[in-house]
Structure formats: structure tokens, C-alpha cells
């Protein structure tokens, strides 16, 4: 008999895909600051907090900016990103996402979102799925972002479960690292080279096999 009682799900890359919006936001900021920024560079920002993402983007130039300028750039990028979110709706659910949520619920398991994004609730509202989850942990919930386990431990506490009773669905290397650190079952969604170090891996959300995990 499985000990699993709940699923903790990353939002971006598992339920929906806003990475293109993030990329366009960071790219516009980088261009304004005279910094080259490619899609390959953007891969380094997957699953990473906004402040850490800006640190990576600025690289050696980070010392050229004051704390106030750093904060202004984070706010500027977030403004660009949020302008893209206004056009989202339930058509932006990834293939298989709705079926995944329905199956987890049918099995009587708890569900929580654990996203590094501070915009997670806004995205969930745009997708019209906020009510599907028993708890929402986002960038406001904890101080230390993934790969620290804090956001997953917080989500588990919010749904009243022990870490060993939880499965994490993640598309980022840092998220898999965080799930392992939290001592939860880590399920990667994406390519082997990025999330293959979890307990299970599926190519996409549509490929997730709950029977195999449970």
C-alpha cells in the first residue's frame, strides 16, 4: 500500500508554460542594459528566483549597480512579465495538465502548488484553476528559494502531510534538487539531462503515469 498522500506541483513547466514570457521579459531588460541574453542563457534561470536570475544575467557587471538599481531592474522585468500574463486563459494549460489534476483529485490525494514565482496566484487565477489546490506556496512563502527544500516543506505543512508522504512534480534541476533535499519523492518532467536525477522522469506532463509513481 502506497504511503503517498499528496502531490506538490511546480506551476511553470508542469501545469502551464510561461517560460517564454520570462525569456522575453529578461531579454528586453538585458537589451536595455546593453547585455547579450540568449535562449541558452535563459535555461540557467529555469526554476530560479527573480533576484538570483538577475544576478546570473548581470554576471560580472553586478557590481556596477546599487541595491536600489538592482531592485528597480527586478521590478521592471516583472512589469514586462505581468503584461504578458494579462492574455493568459485556460487554453494555456499544458497538454495533460487538466487530466493530471482530475486524476489526483479522483484518487483522494491532496494537491499543492509550489512555485518560485511571486506571480503564481495571478497565473492560477488566469488559468481558472486556483480552486483545484489545497494550498499555494509561492515566492512570498519562504525566504530561501529552490534548490533549498523550504518551499516544498512549507507546502507539505500547509496540506498537513509529512515530507515522506509527498510527491513533487518538477521541470527544473533546482526543483528536483529541492525535492530530494526535502526527502520527498522527486518526479522530473522534462529531459534526462535536466531532471533525470529524480526518482522518476517523464518527458512531459501528458506522459505522467500516476500508477507507476503510486
Residues placed in the known binding site: 10-12, 26, 45-50, 53, 77, 115-119, 146, 170-171
What is the C-alpha R_g of the chain? Answer: 17
Which residues are known binding-site members for Mg(2+)?
10, 12, 170-171
Pairing status of strand 185-189 against strand 110-114: unpaired
Distance CA 167, CA 179 (A): 8
Residues 6+ apart with CB under 8 A from 42: 19, 22, 23, 26, 27
Distance CA 36, CA 173 (A): 24
Q: In this structure, are residues 187 and 168 in contact, taking their beta carbons and an 8 Å threshold?
A: yes
Distance CA 164, CA 91 (A): 34
**Could you say which of 12, 138, 150, 177 is catalytic?**
12
Q: Is 12 a catalytic residue?
A: yes
Which residues are known binding-site members for substrate?
10-12, 26, 45-50, 53, 77, 115-119, 146
Q: In this structure, are residues 110 and 161 in contact, taking their beta carbons and an 8 Å threshold?
A: yes
**Could you say which of 10, 138, 150, 177 is catalytic?**
10
Q: In this structure, are residues 94 and 205 in contact, taking their beta carbons and an 8 Å threshold?
A: yes
Detail the DSSP E strand segments found in 49-139: 110-114, 135-137
Q: Is 75 a catalytic residue?
A: no
* Catalytic positions: 10, 12
Amino acid at each position: 500500500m502506497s504511503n503517498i498522500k499528496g502531490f506538490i506541483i511546480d506551476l511553470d513547466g508542469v501545469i502551464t508554460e510561461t517560460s517564454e514570457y520570462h525569456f522575453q521579459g529578461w531579454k528586453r531588460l538585458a537589451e536595455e542594459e546593453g547585455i547579450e541574453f540568449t535562449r541558452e542563457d535563459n535555461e540557467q534561470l529555469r526554476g530560479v528566483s527573480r533576484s538570483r536570475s538577475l544576478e546570473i544575467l548581470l554576471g560580472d557587471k553586478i557590481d556596477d549597480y546599487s541595491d536600489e538599481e538592482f531592485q528597480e531592474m527586478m521590478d521592471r522585468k516583472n512589469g514586462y512579465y505581468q503584461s504578458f500574463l494579462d492574455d493568459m486563459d485556460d487554453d494555456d494549460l499544458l497538454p495533460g495538465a487538466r487530466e493530471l489534476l482530475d486524476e489526483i483529485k479522483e484518487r483522494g490525494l491532496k494537491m499543492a502548488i509550489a512555485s518560485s514565482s511571486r506571480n503564481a496566484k495571478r497565473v492560477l487565477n488566469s488559468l481558472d484553476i486556483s480552486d483545484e489546490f489545497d494550498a499555494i506556496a509561492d515566492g512570498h512563502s519562504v525566504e530561501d528559494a529552490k534548490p533549498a527544500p523550504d518551499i516544498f516543506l512549507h507546502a507539505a505543512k500547509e496540506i498537513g502531510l509529512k515530507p515522506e508522504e509527498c510527491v513533487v512534480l518538477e521541470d527544473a534541476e533546482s526543483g528536483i534538487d529541492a525535492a530530494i533535499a526535502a526527502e520527498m519523492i522527486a518526479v522530473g518532467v522534462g529531459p534526462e539531462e535536466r531532471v533525470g536525477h529524480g526518482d522518476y522522469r517523464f518527458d512531459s506532463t501528458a506522459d505522467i503515469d500516476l500508477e507507476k509513481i503510486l
